[in-house]
Structure 1
Amino acid sequence: MQKALFLILSGLLLNCSSTRQIEKRYTADDQTVFSLLERLKKNADDKEAAALLPDAYRQAANVRKAINSNTYNNRGAGDRWMEIADQLQVAAQMYSQIKSIPAAAELIPNPWDPSVKIQEAKQKAAEEYYNRGIHYLSYNNRPYGQKAYEMFVKANNAYPHYRDVEDLMQQAQELATIKVVVQPVNYYNNSWRYWGFDNDYLQYTMVRDLNNASYNNTRFYTNREAEANFIKADRVVELNFNDLYIGSVYADRYTIQRSKKIEIGQTRSVPAKPVYKTVKATVYVSRSILQSRASLDCRIYDWVSGRNILSDRFHDNYTWRHETARYTGDQRALEASDRNLINNAATVRPPSREELAARLVNNCYNQLLNRIRSGVSF
């Protein structure tokens, strides 16, 4: 139901927009005709409107009938014919309204129907757009590929499915598209399998994310996709982890001496006074630490000139830490932090090399992706 409502509203908006475009082309004579038609629509017995309408319509219609291929020669290829079609739409609107108003139809039994002329004008517009697109396409380079695509789009809008324009649109769009090839990632002189990845997921993730970002006239490929489809790269992305370090677990111990004065009672004097005692405890802490870090270099460059579009480095550090404790002495001397350590599990498995590598790689990559999205133009 929502979809149907959306389509209805979209249609109404398009019709309103089309009507406004036609109204922009009204001349004074046109406005007179439409005003008289409106009067007859409201009152079929309006004698003054009935008397004025035939001559007013004849004068307005003759202006549109006189339009020919030379009328808008100052316009570009195809554009002149689209303007002619739009001008003729005014006459088509008059025709439609006269037919829909019985009093007007009686006064003008055979109004001029320009629908055939409109279709002819649109077809000639499509032909001129099409030929200009073919001309641009013959240059066989990206800038002219974009111009060709724009011409073919105009041709298809003017006269849908004109000749093979849809195939040519696809061909021109392909020519106009910047092809960016993302190379396999260098994981610090190791293969991605060494770090526990089933495949070079970072390369595929980057291609997916950048394609989903819908960069204008830009398409991203892995090197394998480019090779399989004989795609020549315009831009190249190189990703290199110049540092990907995961250390060994380092274990040590240290002690904390606690001392606290606590109230153990009161004197018998009047008034009573508190009696204090100093209690002590020793906390023995066992600590495990595992440090890891990564540094990702990214270079994006133009394949032909070698010019850098982006050259930057992205870092990440992560330290895993686990501490547990035991104590001797009086537990009343302990702090809350001591109790937390004592209640910690004595044995906790540190993250694996694969888990840490995935964390470091993803964090560096997300920094890179944000950097690209914030202002890299391919």
Structure 2
Amino acid sequence: MLKFLRYLSVCLPAVILFACKSGEKLYNQGRYYDAVESFVKKLQRRPQDETSLRLLPLAYQAAMEHYEGRAKQSLASNNPLKWEEVKNEYRAMQSLYNVIRSAPAANAVVKPKDYSSAIAASGENAAEVRYNRGIELMEQRTKQAAREAYEEFAAALRLSPDFRDAASLRDQAFQLGLVHVVVSEIDVRSPYFQFSADQFRDALVRNLEDRRINTFVRFYDERRVRGEKDFHPDQYMEMRFMDFIVGQTYVDRSQREVSRVIQVKGNKADSTGKFPMVDITVKATIFVTRKTVQSTGALDYRIIDVTNERILRQDRVPGSFTWQNQFGTFRGDERALSDEDKRLIQGRDLVPPPPQDLFLELTRPIYDRMARDLQSFYSRY
């Protein structure tokens, strides 16, 4: 502990000296904002530090000239969003105001300017610009313009919360910019598989909604919106399973010979009267039965613009699923069997799943591929 205190007594002055030189170095480099922060931190620890007290007013004055000059340049520019730039400059100056006010020693040598009113006023001006841009976009009465208007009104509210009726107009723009996509019931050649197809469609719609792949795209199950008079979809997604085949059960039988060299106690005793271990070869025949059911199919889908019946996208997504079960028996010496052989022997003769279950398994890879395709399509929409 004594060694640590001695170490601290040597290092602490060095750290303080470095901090002082660091602030002075920042000032000499023209980094006035950082220099002000460094000097204030020093004065919080050592209120009588001569270098900080001498250079802090100069650093603050230089920082103010820098940011006020940038604010004036922005005001004189033709940038329609110049008030946002001005607000950012004022916020930087206000940050230094707060820094200096946090240290009594710093506040004694510098009287920082409060820019809170200027920030509020520039925020109002900036919000008005965004608000007016949103109004102009809304007058175009297109979905794309409505989406852009939504961003403008949202920006206005970030600049000045509760600005006029920007919140209400933002919500209106959002609704006008939405693309409503109705997902049809899936056409399956056999009604035997309709329930599984419906499960596929339900999962797809839920997944697309949960992913929120595009803020302005909404998906709807056709069954839930059918008959709603006030609902007008923008796009219609048709789906149809094609070439769906649940194959017959194929049975393949095979056999193979296995052998192992093991050690057993010999029949003859050696000169010491002990029976030494000897190597022998044990053999067995394994009979394997393998049952396989191959299911294949493809889902055709297309997305149609309801207004002009133009096909926006169409594709065929293939899928397959192979169910397999194998088991075995053996004849011969069980000691010849490996661990894998023993697991095979312990297998059971299973009945293949019903066609509906095979259909559902077949749709899993189709579902994953289609969900990715739609996410890619609508993320750029």
Q: Please indicate the TM-score interval, normalised by the length of the shorter structure.
A: 0.5 to 0.7
Structure 1 residues 107 and 201: CA distance shift in structure 2, 3 A: same
Q: Where does residue 102 of structure 1 map in the other structure?
A: 104
Aligned counterparts of 1:200 and 1:101: Cα–Cα separation in 2? 68
TM-superposed deviation, 1:171: 2.7
C-alpha contact 1:129 1:155 (8 A) present in aligned 2:
yes
Say which is worse superposed, 57-66 or 288-297, in terms of deviation: 57-66
Aligned counterparts of 1:113 and 1:132: Cα–Cα separation in 2? 31
Q: 1:4-34 CA distances to partner (integer Å, 9 max, x unpaired)?
A: xxxxxxxxxxxxxxxxxxxxxxxx6965993
TM-superposed deviation, 1:299: 2.0
Q: Does 1:245 align with 2:245?
A: yes
SS in structure 1 at match of 2:141: coil
Q: Does 1:204 align with 2:192?
A: no
TM-superposed deviation, 1:122: 0.8
Structure 1 residues 169 and 286: CA distance shift in structure 2, 3 A: same
Q: Where does residue 220 of structure 1 map in the other structure?
A: 219
SS in structure 2 at match of 1:207: helix
Tell me the matched-pair count: 317
Structure 1 residues 97 and 136: CA distance shift in structure 2, 3 A: same
Aligned counterparts of 2:41 and 2:346: Cα–Cα separation in 1? 91
C-alpha contact 2:36 2:96 (8 A) present in aligned 1:
yes
Say which is worse superposed, 203-212 or 164-173, in terms of deviation: 164-173
Structure 1 residues 49 and 307: CA distance shift in structure 2, 3 A: same
> CA RMSD, aligned part only?
5.1
TM-superposed deviation, 1:149: 1.5
Say which is worse superposed, 38-47 or 82-91, in terms of deviation: 38-47
- 1:40-189 alignment, distance < 5 Å: 41=43, 42=46, 44=48, 46=50, 53=57, 57=61, 60=64, 64=68, 71-76=75-80, 79-107=81-109, 111-188=112-189
Structure 1 residues 80 and 127: CA distance shift in structure 2, 3 A: same
Q: 1:17-66 CA distances to partner (integer Å, 9 max, x unpaired)?
A: xxxxxxxxxxx696599389649935547399559948974994798499
C-alpha contact 1:290 1:320 (8 A) present in aligned 2:
yes
Structure 1 residues 143 and 48: CA distance shift in structure 2, 3 A: closer
Q: Which amino acid aligns with 2:236?
A: V
Aligned counterparts of 1:296 and 1:208: Cα–Cα separation in 2? 18
Q: Which runs of 5+ in 1 are unaligned?
A: 1-27, 261-280
C-alpha contact 2:127 2:157 (8 A) present in aligned 1:
yes
Aligned counterparts of 2:248 and 2:56: Cα–Cα separation in 1? 99
Q: Where does residue 18 of structure 1 map in the other structure?
A: none
SS in structure 1 at match of 2:195: coil
Structure 1 residues 69 and 179: CA distance shift in structure 2, 3 A: farther
Q: Which amino acid aligns with 1:306?
A: R
- Residue identity (%): 24
Q: Does 1:299 align with 2:298?
A: no
Structure 1 residues 63 and 307: CA distance shift in structure 2, 3 A: closer
C-alpha contact 1:300 1:311 (8 A) present in aligned 2:
no
Structure 1 residues 321 and 293: CA distance shift in structure 2, 3 A: farther
C-alpha contact 1:40 1:103 (8 A) present in aligned 2:
no
C-alpha contact 2:242 2:300 (8 A) present in aligned 1:
yes
Structure 1 residues 88 and 239: CA distance shift in structure 2, 3 A: same
TM-superposed deviation, 1:206: 1.0
TM-superposed deviation, 1:175: 2.8
TM-superposed deviation, 1:151: 0.8
C-alpha contact 2:292 2:322 (8 A) present in aligned 1:
no
Aligned counterparts of 1:195 and 1:157: Cα–Cα separation in 2? 52
Aligned counterparts of 2:342 and 2:39: Cα–Cα separation in 1? 92
Structure 1 residues 93 and 319: CA distance shift in structure 2, 3 A: closer
Q: Which residue, out of 353, 359, 362, partners 1:360?
A: 362
Q: Which amino acid aligns with 2:121?
A: E
Aligned counterparts of 1:257 and 1:129: Cα–Cα separation in 2? 79
C-alpha contact 1:29 1:60 (8 A) present in aligned 2:
no
Structure 1 residues 349 and 73: CA distance shift in structure 2, 3 A: same
TM-superposed deviation, 1:136: 1.1
SS in structure 1 at match of 2:75: coil
Aligned counterparts of 2:358 and 2:113: Cα–Cα separation in 1? 78
SS in structure 2 at match of 1:113: coil
C-alpha contact 2:290 2:324 (8 A) present in aligned 1:
no
Structure 1 residues 134 and 226: CA distance shift in structure 2, 3 A: farther
C-alpha contact 2:94 2:115 (8 A) present in aligned 1:
yes
Structure 1 residues 176 and 82: CA distance shift in structure 2, 3 A: same
Query: What is the TM-score with the length of structure 2 in the denominator?
Result: 0.62
TM-superposed deviation, 1:249: 6.3
Q: Which amino acid aligns with 1:153?
A: A
Structure 1 residues 202 and 117: CA distance shift in structure 2, 3 A: same
Q: 1:46-98 CA distances to partner (integer Å, 9 max, x unpaired)?
A: 3995599489749947984996798244121xx22222222222432343344
Query: What is the TM-score with the length of structure 1 in the denominator?
Result: 0.63
TM-superposed deviation, 1:148: 0.7
Q: Which amino acid aligns with 1:300?
A: I
Q: Which runs of 5+ in 2 are unaligned?
A: 1-29, 259-284
Q: 1:106-132 CA distances to partner (integer Å, 9 max, x unpaired)?
A: 455x65322112112112211221221
C-alpha contact 1:148 1:172 (8 A) present in aligned 2:
yes
